[in-house]
Amino acid sequence: MRNISEDTITQAVLASMDGCRDERLHTVMTSLVQHLHAFAREVKLTEAEWFAAIQFLTDTGHITDDKRQEFVLLSDTLGLSMLVTTQNNRKPAACTEATVLGPFFVDGAPTYENGDDLSNEALGAPCFVRGHVRGVDGEPVAGASLDVWQSDEDGFYDVQKTSAEVGEMVHSARGKLHTQADGSFHFRSILAEAYPIPHDGPVGRMLDALGRHPWRPAHLHFWIKAPGYETLITHVFRQGDQYLDSDAVFGVRSTLVVEWVKHAPGIAPDGTSMSVPFYTLDYDFVLNPAPAGATV
């Protein structure tokens, strides 16, 4: 392959992949090369801009670690995460809509019983969460696993904090529980608050350069799994939040926006006597049946 010009290089790169034995990989890479080259031609990409892009991706890699996934933030803020989520989660209208996973999910969250307090001293007003998990025909889904996580009132997830003594993450406002025989679940946590995605790195600089803000509306994350049903990853958003129409990661769906009801001090749903105001959130999830033979 000699004397390749700007007019022939795309076909040369595509031809170099003829030996690829993975059909799907070949399809994806062929389209990627075609679109990348078309993009460079369309905007007449300069060498200085290309170097800046390489440095941006390098910086994104350098700041990424086990507590911060800058590449997920980049995908989220460019709308790619939500696009992929949407096109891979087409469901009947009765089903709960999916939204982005986000960069702060972690495996190994502590397991709780229904009624337990998941906050583990996370800062925030008390909030009692109740709901059901059902199938599209209204049947209760017993034993479904629910991973739940959220930020505290300062806008930080537990993975963004470390213990000064041991240097390890202490799980808070995060946990896993299972639905009861009637498909119900209930737990205590804290009130969801709006927060900015981490914006002290390359993604934050990109948002600033584009005149965009880094804020996400208040929400509570759920990852729900049950045998015989498609897995659901979603949020429940707090009604009235000022960022519902300008979510930095484009994840809001109207069906996921719910009122967090404020209560004066008194008796909470679990019978606890509360000396401070508290909130309640009620939300039912509807799962889509998994295709026959599918691995959930």
Contact 274, 241 (CB under 8 A): no
Residue 164's pLDDT is 47
Q: What is the mean pLDDT of the chain?
A: 94
Residue 62 confidence class, pLDDT cut points 50, 70, 90: very high
CATH for 70-287 (3.90.1150.10, 1.10.10.10, 3.90.550.50, 2.60.130.10): 2.60.130.10
Rounded Cα distance, 230 and 73, in Å = 25
pLDDT digits (tens, 9 = 90+) for 105-114: 988 899 999 9
| DSSP for residue 256 | G
Say yes or no to pLDDT of 215 above 80. yes
Closest-CA residue to 151 (of 189, 97, 187): 189
Domain locations in the chain as residue ranges = 1-45, 70-287
- Average of pLDDT values for 59-71? 92
Residue 295's pLDDT is 60
